[in-house]
Structure 1
């Protein structure tokens, strides 16, 4: 299983969103400023996240994005699978040692399954709690 910078940024942006959505929809421009990434990159990520049913969008003044599910119902695996151009869950579940070309195929299959299981066990709620415990302030200026 490969998690690219795209997947890492999506997890970070979704954590940011989860921390601030109680105030209403969150504009991508504010997430972009806090995360130090380009707005166009976030727009691409959030398009994929919306397609996966993880976020909802609101247009117009005061518009932005909000989680489509409660933070405890969104796993890191959900986010990564939504934005990466690969079928992480399917690979881990269907690729067995007999299908592998390499002699260590079963090792990598087991590794991928463990990584996926871990990412499925961590939710946005967990990540928000970790950030708050570290002293990250929700009301921080942009």
Structure 2
């Protein structure tokens, strides 16, 4: 399974928006771009499907930016992944191969179907809040204090 940069950067952008929006303030594309090292143009392409899916709202203009539309604890990773890449959570296999059909069926039942189930279970049980919390804990634990 290969996760695209679109999906990775989409998750990064959402975590950045949540972590840097104080009391619902908008977060600019430029600020996300600078903090995360993602080109502004590519970031705008990534944010478009998230906006179209209703996960973020965009405001144009000098004071424009993005804000998340739902509470992070109510936003499942599966919803985000489906907005960014609708095929990602669908494990598929080619059962039309010219091999022994019972072997192919056994592989499908014991490997691919279980992988599909587990991937979807993780994506459905993980929220954006979980990722933001882990990010904030990582930032806090990596901070250096000098006396």
TM-score (norm 2): 0.78
CA distance in 1, matches of 2:140, 2:128: 15
Say what the alpha-carbon RMSD is for the aligned residues: 2.3
- Identify if the C-alpha distance between structure 1 residues 74 and 20 changes in structure 2 by more than 3 Å, giving closer, same or farther: same
Q: 1:3–1:80: 8 Å Cα contact kept in structure 2?
A: no
> Who is 2:87 aligned against?
87
How far apart, in 2, do the equivalents of 1:136 and 1:42 lie? Answer: 26
Higher relative contact order (CA 8 A, sep 6+): 1
Cα deviation digits, residues 60-99 of structure 1 (max 9, x gap): 1211000011111112222121111x3345x36xx7x9x8
Which residue of structure 1 lines up, in the alignment, with residue 42 of structure 2? 41
State the 1:100 CA deviation: 3.5
The runs of at least 4 consecutive aligned structure 1 residues that moved more than 4 Å come to none
Q: With structure 1 as the length reference, what TM-score do the two structures score?
A: 0.80
> Who is 1:132 aligned against?
136
Q: Which runs of 5+ in 1 are unaligned?
A: 138-142
Aligned residue pairs total 131
C-alpha separation in 2, matches of 1:49 and 1:20:
18
